[in-house]
Structure 1
């Protein structure tokens, strides 16, 4: 049986077009919710005094504020003669930057919601495209020609649908940096002139799409003394790199590496995967590497109906169809590489869904997939160094009714940038303890009625516990080995009754307070039909706008097993009674819908990008203070063009530049190369691109 790809009415992604539903997640909203367990949700009243102790900043963090040394002056220095260790002590520069950050009000004038096919920034700011799809990345790569695409060309050019953005400084003078970008997925209608259907794509076109996935590493230089950045154009570009789904090898690390679940005919040792799929958000580590999350990998596989019967429930829990030969939304990559046919290679799917670590300072290094961090639909991972020196990574599983996780390393972080410290720190994510979150609300169940009305204590809040799933080679889930837990982490979370959340996506530690912030994008299935009902952490039925989740580890111990939590922002139109902005005057805040990625500037302000604005306007980037009298004063900073999603964002450590990825502009049903729904950025056809924004007077962005 073959299910033909269909453009379907959009449900789970609310404001997104049907084309997004098809290409981003393989029409996930048309299929049953993968989590069909009967885990209890928050409804019990817990009579406990909530601990709200202050949190001391816990050392270097891998958030989005890497240090950028002194003020830039003049043109960028020439590219290094050869790649080496980081050109600046990354962690030390970061700590120096954080210590200089000053909290203050966000002074830009909020821009209004709009539907313009343009990139809109506040008065007093400017923006420029840094790189767009097809731009040369490797030295000698040709300029982009949409009518002359090839696998060889795309493998040397900037990939499609940029998502995560990381910018790592090269040297202390603030003049050069390495841009690292994820390329999540492809829109074949918007890539290939004359497109008719997925089934009609040639094998070469399939391989071009595979080469357009993955990551790009590109050396940048600052433009004069401004906050603008541009690619270095030189005969030799030693750091520049393309990592693709087509042919790049990845090494597995951790307890599940080499396990039976990861072995295939092509890799009988289960140690090396080819490629990376559907890379969404990510994070920058204190030791100068980039983490990338593999997300909706299920849509790339066919043949689930022919997989072993005992394996089918596990595949289904990850959204892989086990009833159709070719599921709706399939990429049909099996026509280019047989490994994507699960009837022939049932373990190939288990080789995706991991956190990937890439060392941008060593272009010859092999990227790694860290099994110790678990396998699910990773939005990304962000790292903080705890007070005891261990590394803690926070992660979300971007699916309706799935879970929040954290990983605590066995080893301790070594500060400094000696060769010994760097070699040691590169092993930190290979062994440790993986936890999943279980939450409890502190209000009577009858006060959480699904409307978003605040309970009588004036806040959606409560306590939580981190439930241990696995530590090293020891499983804490009955009936599952450590390899089982790490390969089928969703099933382990089900078994320990973790709390079902409303699409937990990006999770970031605050560099100033140590509190953890997560974007819960939406869940229109919440409380609908037989789906789980509301609870205090997910308080609205048919939740189409999402919320921001704040987590405070008890005693400021990021390695501990208990925490408190609250919802400082419940998104939507401020005029809607179901919204909440930390108690701030709602008449003064911007409307926001479907938070996706979060980031921090050095002053500690929270920046939020959106995906699928269910209020009818374009997606954008927003900012708010999260401490003090301005807490909850949310303001819209920019909007992206028609059909696009705002990804990233990344604020440089000197606060002079904000990078965002404009993903899938013009992604609207019926659009094509010949009939584009957006002509951004060049006026001809839509191209995903990374954009940098800066203040015209050279001051810090935002405040």
Structure 2
């Protein structure tokens, strides 16, 4: 039976990431992995700090959870033997009762036997009446502004009406060689650039639920439908709004930004809004090499902003993408954006109190005293894990007064960065477990800024928020292996961090392995389970353990929470996370380094099947699995950049998904549901 409740809310071919094609590296992150990691700080890491074992006595263990009101706190054994399934056992955890999809290289979304699937919406599908249908040979900027954008990443589903929902989606980046026939990268046309501007951004789409199955159908022309793109207005709020470092020629007040760029994952708030995270903003800004003033040059370098012309050449058509002409424009990107999907006339807010970096995600959880904490990863090799805790409490209900109050929650609070400490001394980087059987320890949240008060020597509060990476450097935060999505469990309250990979871990001149990042050349990534003191998101200390060391189960460096590795699916490069109603963690992957396509995996976290990983689906050639979203009726994923394989073009596509032979690949949202079960039963 398939019953899942809603959640609340590349082999390395240097210089490219494991399993990821060179064209993806080019368009998605501006070839970040081909360059030196921006974090050149000399702050300590575990290999330096833990030359002597730290006593385990008194540590908050990740397996020991103290329950708080409104949460169910399961008891999970912390030692591997307690979680391991006896050899030869078959079966599955509740909610994961499907036959695992085997690793494959099929150009399709492959789902388990007994399940159906359907595309919900794809790049170019109209959102409004009068907008033309998609035609790759007749795209215009005007059409694209009314059509579903490119490269969908985060997805959320919100209540709307009877048998209808609001689908909220962001569009991370554009892949011009797959969008435009006969594309000349050296000389893009204005129309092509304006189409790309329109294909970035955000979409809100009303969808109707089928009364027969788990499929969803967009409602073209619904009053809530919305497209936000690089020409849409966004408001800067919080301590940085109006600061001289965010003022430009077009916006001398420093409060109104045109557009949002490179949105990756995000989250849904308890008060009904959507958080979306600006990530690899470095690649959009030209002529950083012209900056010679040392402080500004160092700030640009720390954010990976370098070079002269950009790949997309947007600076030819709009001065704001030229640092030589508008030096402050990059400071207006790299924020968490809050959107009210229920008010299509509202202006989205860039919440500066949450800090500026390459945000992968922004996932909230209510503290024990009713405030809100937002967890955030900075998706870069050797960068940091953050948390924001609001000053004010969340107002309950849906009254106008409650909505006004909650609209200010993310402008006032404390921003923290995480420091992890292991308890077993130095590790050798092989993935071999320490003598105590776990990579684990304790940690602290180091305060960086609260309102106009900076905790970082030599930096004002506004500078901490604008140049948050450098603030983390100064306080000695732990260098992590690309912290991406972060999800607190709505059932246990534990927090899960996907660390996608870091093949530079242990390389010459780079940080070596530590207990929180225990493998050198970590091309397959890992997942950390974190439990805050008293299970309170406002706590300033926590316990943690490595839950998964991903890869081929036959590789001795892998670890699946102590579960029998002969009974798990291979998994590589964990990226986006979600929960089902049973408390299982669902993991989508990006950059599979094992030679097969990316996919979506279910992971049991409780009981005798803790650590069992099962692959639920795989995605087409060149694609990444994003989203995901899991509820009672369906599993949903975003299929991002299908066909994004080096050398592929509109004329010579590497995939024909989802429309079939003779078509170009189109990023799309897919719903999957069991054939045997009617909706709502």
Q: TM-score range by the shorter chain?
A: over 0.9
Partner of 1:244: 229
Matched, 1:637 2:616: yes
Partner of 2:472: 493
Q: Is the 8 A contact 1:12 1:522 kept in 2?
A: no
- After TM superposition, the structure 1 stretch with the greater mean CA deviation from structure 2, 47-56 or 599-608, is 47-56
Cα distance in 2 between the residues matched to 1:56 and 1:139: 50
Structural mapping, 1:573-652, within 5 Å: 573-652=552-631
Cα distance in 2 between the residues matched to 1:402 and 1:603: 32
Partner of 2:5: none
Q: Is the 8 A contact 1:609 1:622 kept in 2?
A: yes
Q: Is the 8 A contact 1:402 1:503 kept in 2?
A: yes
Partner of 1:661: 638
Q: 1:190 to 1:10 in 2, by over 3 A?
A: farther
User: The residue matched to 1:539 in structure 2 has which SS?
Assistant: coil
Matched, 1:185 2:173: yes
- Find 1:325's aligned residue among 301, 308, 318: 308
Q: Is the 8 A contact 1:126 1:693 kept in 2?
A: yes
Cα distance in 1 between the residues matched to 2:492 and 2:13: 42
TM-score by length of 2: 0.92
Q: 1:16 to 1:184 in 2, by over 3 A?
A: same
Partner of 2:648: 671
Partner of 1:366: 347
Q: 1:105 to 1:228 in 2, by over 3 A?
A: closer
Q: 1:419 to 1:145 in 2, by over 3 A?
A: same
Q: 1:22 to 1:457 in 2, by over 3 A?
A: same
Give the Å deviation of 1:379: 0.3
Partner of 1:138: 128
Matched, 1:18 2:11: no
Q: Is the 8 A contact 2:266 2:274 kept in 1?
A: yes
Cα distance in 2 between the residues matched to 1:318 and 1:230: 40
Give the Å deviation of 1:138: 2.1
- Find 1:254's aligned residue among 231, 238, 244: 238
Q: Is the 8 A contact 2:372 2:389 kept in 1?
A: yes
Q: Is the 8 A contact 2:71 2:491 kept in 1?
A: no
Structural mapping, 1:664-703, within 5 Å: 664-683=641-660, 684-698=663-677
Partner of 1:98: none
Give the Å deviation of 1:699: 7.0
Cα distance in 1 between the residues matched to 2:13 and 2:285: 23
Partner of 1:316: 301
Give the Å deviation of 1:104: 2.2
Partner of 2:325: 344
Matched, 1:219 2:233: no
Give the Å deviation of 1:57: 5.6
Cα distance in 2 between the residues matched to 1:292 and 1:60: 26
Cα distance in 2 between the residues matched to 1:57 and 1:297: 39
Give the Å deviation of 1:226: 1.8
Give the Å deviation of 1:13: 2.1
Cα distance in 2 between the residues matched to 1:531 and 1:554: 32
Q: Is the 8 A contact 1:10 1:17 kept in 2?
A: no
- After TM superposition, the structure 1 stretch with the greater mean CA deviation from structure 2, 236-245 or 10-19, is 10-19
Cα distance in 2 between the residues matched to 1:57 and 1:244: 41
Q: Is the 8 A contact 1:16 1:612 kept in 2?
A: yes
- Find 2:454's aligned residue among 465, 470, 475: 475
Cα distance in 2 between the residues matched to 1:331 and 1:574: 40
User: The residue matched to 1:19 in structure 2 has which SS?
Assistant: helix
Partner of 1:117: 107
- Find 1:292's aligned residue among 276, 294, 301: 276
Matched, 1:461 2:445: no
Partner of 1:70: none
Structural mapping, 1:192-211, within 5 Å: 192-195=180-183, 197-211=184-198
TM-score by length of 1: 0.89
Q: Deviations over 1:36-88 (max 9, x none)?
A: 01111113132142223424366599xxxxxxxxxxxxxxxxxxxxxxxxxxx
Matched, 1:436 2:417: yes
Q: Is the 8 A contact 1:60 1:384 kept in 2?
A: no
Give the Å deviation of 1:697: 2.0
Q: Is the 8 A contact 1:58 1:384 kept in 2?
A: no
Matched, 1:527 2:506: yes
Q: Is the 8 A contact 1:441 1:536 kept in 2?
A: yes
Partner of 2:55: 47
Cα distance in 2 between the residues matched to 1:331 and 1:285: 34
Cα distance in 2 between the residues matched to 1:388 and 1:627: 27
CA RMSD of aligned residues (A): 1.7
Query: Mind listing any 5+ residue stretches in structure 2 that lack a counterpart?
Result: 1-11, 73-92
Q: Is the 8 A contact 1:185 1:213 kept in 2?
A: yes
Matched, 1:355 2:336: yes
User: The residue matched to 1:168 in structure 2 has which SS?
Assistant: strand
Q: Deviations over 1:246-290 (max 9, x none)?
A: x10100111111111111111111111110000000111111111
Q: Deviations over 1:577-618 (max 9, x none)?
A: 000001000000000000000000111110000000000000
Cα distance in 1 between the residues matched to 2:654 and 2:594: 19
- After TM superposition, the structure 1 stretch with the greater mean CA deviation from structure 2, 689-698 or 374-383, is 689-698
Matched, 1:273 2:257: yes
Q: Is the 8 A contact 1:55 1:515 kept in 2?
A: no
Q: Deviations over 1:366-391 (max 9, x none)?
A: 00100000000000100011110000
Query: Mind listing any 5+ residue stretches in structure 1 that lack a counterpart?
Result: 1-7, 62-102
Cα distance in 1 between the residues matched to 2:475 and 2:626: 33
Cα distance in 1 between the residues matched to 2:190 and 2:216: 37
User: The residue matched to 1:690 in structure 2 has which SS?
Assistant: strand
Give the Å deviation of 1:34: 0.1
Partner of 1:76: none
User: The residue matched to 1:166 in structure 2 has which SS?
Assistant: strand
Q: Is the 8 A contact 1:164 1:661 kept in 2?
A: yes
Q: Is the 8 A contact 1:619 1:645 kept in 2?
A: yes
- Find 1:422's aligned residue among 396, 400, 403: 403
Q: Is the 8 A contact 1:354 1:376 kept in 2?
A: yes
Partner of 2:140: 150
